[in-house]
Amino acid sequence: MAFIRTLDIRAIEFFSGLGGWRYAMKGLGTVISAYDISEVANTAYRLNFGESPNTRELATVSLSEIRALNADAWLMSPPCQPFCRMGRGKGLMDARSAAFIHLMDLLIETRPQRLLLENVTGFFESDAFAMLAERLARIGLAWRCFNLCPTQFGVPNRRPRVFVAASASGVLNNRPPSIEPSPIFNYLDAAEDTDLYLSGDIIARHGAGLDIVTVESRRSACFIGGYGKRLVGAGSFLQTERGIRRFSPGEISRLLGYPPDFRFPPDLSLNNQYKLLGNGLNLVVAGWALGQLL
Ligand SMILES: C[S@@+](CC[C@H](N)C(=O)[O-])C[C@H]1O[C@@H](n2cnc3c(N)ncnc32)[C@H](O)[C@@H]1O
């Protein structure tokens, strides 16, 4: 008889964005409450899940509020800029870490049974990681770190991230899979949006710096939040017979593992769609990391 794991997690999703953790949870439990300061993100979350996150600055959320939720798991992807080269890597000294520091204080008081955090790989060498490890030890959670990239899961897109998985019952030590990525054409829109093509002038000026892939490629670069505005270092561009174009938000959402019925609010600008996706999780990878929790 097959062994089916039923964790039945009751989770809080902090820094919820598009709800990547909620998508990734599948049958492992439910998100009982979500928090994000961005009304733009929360509008998209509400559209897809029918429930709104709390539009709040997490540095000001009270202990009594979190305690009252009676959650047994915390899921979070704090802002990555304090741990990125582009964000100058100031770690806990960065003002954007205030919410994380506050949550680390609430962690001691509320003692969830499980925690899963995702961030850029720079997080691993940061003072924030040292703080998290110390707090997890203090509340008696065993933890493991996983360095994961969608390319290991057969997805032709780089998005290297660290996942810290912690549980009072322990964490599995499975090896991530090693699946050959499939070609990009599996992820493309049936009808392409011709407005996404770059002008000849832009290609002449920036072409040499662009990361260009074809429909046959089995790789693409990490798409960041600024993909709609920046050209170099922000993600890949697709070479077709017609020219060179950006990937559409739909195509990026497929590479990130979002389901076919995932939608953006119709009036959301293209740049905001790219921003939300670029800040988000790869759902296949996040689901695997969740599956390591006992
Ligand atoms: C890296 S993204 C998380 C993305 C999310 N996991 C997803 O699946 O889309 C960080 C999110 O945290 C939110 N955020 C940043 N600082 C915050 C704060 N101080 N309080 C609440 N939310 C914050 C941002 O609006 C953003 O949506």
Q: How confident is the model over 251-273, as a mean pLDDT?
A: 98
Residue 17 · residue 276 · CB < 8 Å:
yes
Atom of ligand 1 nearest to the CA of 76: 6
Q: Do 182 and 159 touch, CB atoms closer than 8 A? A: no
For range 33-58, the mean pLDDT = 98
The answer on pLDDT for 35 being more than 60 is: yes
Q: Is the pLDDT of residue 121 over 60?
A: yes
For residue 93, what pLDDT is reported?
Answer: 87
The per-residue pLDDT of the chain, averaged, comes to: 95
* 9-179+282-290, CATH topology level: Rossmann fold (3.40.50)
CA distance 87 to 70: 35
Residue nearest to atom 8 of ligand 1 (CA): 20
pLDDT score recorded for residue 207: 80
Q: Taking a C-beta distance cutoff of 8 angstroms, is the pair 74, 107 a contact? A: yes
* pLDDT score for 23: 97
- State the closest ligand 1 atom to the C-alpha of 57, by its place in the atom list counted from 1: 20
H or E segment to which residue 42 belongs: helix 39-49
Distance 106 CA to ligand 1 centre (A): 18
Ligand 1: atom nearest CA of 80 is 1
Residue closest by Cα to atom 5 of ligand 1: 17
Which atom of ligand 1 is nearest to 19's Cα? 8
Q: What is the rounded average pLDDT of the residues 117-129?
A: 93
User: What pLDDT does 3 receive?
Assistant: 55
Centre of ligand 1 from the C-alpha of residue 74, in Å:
14
Look at ligand 1, atom 27, and give the residue with the nearest C-alpha.
Answer: 17
> What DSSP element (H or E) covers 20?
helix 20-25
CA distance 97 to 90: 9
pLDDT tens digits, one per residue of 139-160:
999 999 999 999 999 999 999 9
pLDDT over threshold 80, residue 89: no
Say whether 184-275 and 9-179+282-290 share the same fold. Answer: no
* 249 alpha carbon – ligand 1 mean position (Å): 19
Q: Is the pLDDT score of 7 beyond 80?
A: no
CA–CA distance, 20 with 203 (Å, rounded to integer): 34
Specify the pLDDT at position 81: 86
Distance, CA of 95 to chain centre: 21
Query: In testing the pocket of ligand 1, which one of 23, 35, 36, 102 has its CB within 8 Å of the most ligand atoms?
Result: 36
Whole-number pLDDT of residue 84: 83
% of the chain beyond a pLDDT of 90: 89
Residue from 12, 13, 14, 15 whose mutation best tests the ligand 1 pocket (most atoms within 8 A of CB): 15
Beta bridge partners of 282: none
Q: Which atom of ligand 1 is nearest to the CA of 276?
A: 9
Distance 15 CA to ligand 1 centre (A): 3
pLDDT of residue 5: 63
In the structure encoding, which two tokens stand for residue 239, read together? 């070479």
Taking Cα atoms as reference points, which of 73, 46, 273, 66 lies closest to residue 166? Answer: 73
Instruction: Report in angstroms the alpha-carbon separations of 190 from 213, 259, 275.
Output: 18, 16, 23
Ligand 1 test: best mutation among 76, 279, 285, most atoms within 8 Å of CB?
A: 279
Domain 184-275 part of CATH 3.90.120.10: yes
Strands (E), the chain: 9-14, 29-36, 54-55, 73-76, 114-120, 142-148, 161-167, 211-213, 236-239, 244-246
φ and ψ at residue 270, rounded to 5 degrees: -60, -45
Q: pLDDT-based confidence at 214, cuts 50/70/90? A: very high
Average pLDDT on 201-210 reads 91
Pocket of ligand 1 (CB under 6 A): 15-21, 35-38, 41, 57-59, 77, 79-80, 99, 279-281
Cα 198 to ligand 1 centroid, rounded to whole Å: 30
Domain boundaries, the chain: 9-179+282-290, 184-275
Residue 111 confidence class, pLDDT cut points 50, 70, 90: very high
Cα–ligand 1 centroid distance for 224 (angstroms): 14
- Mean pLDDT along residues 115-141: 95
pLDDT at 4 exceeding the cut of 80? no
Average pLDDT over residues 193-215: 94
Q: What is the pLDDT of residue 113?
A: 97
Sign of CA dihedral 203, 230, 278, 284: positive
**79-88 per-position pLDDT tens digit:** 988 888 665 6
Q: Is 80 a catalytic residue?
A: yes
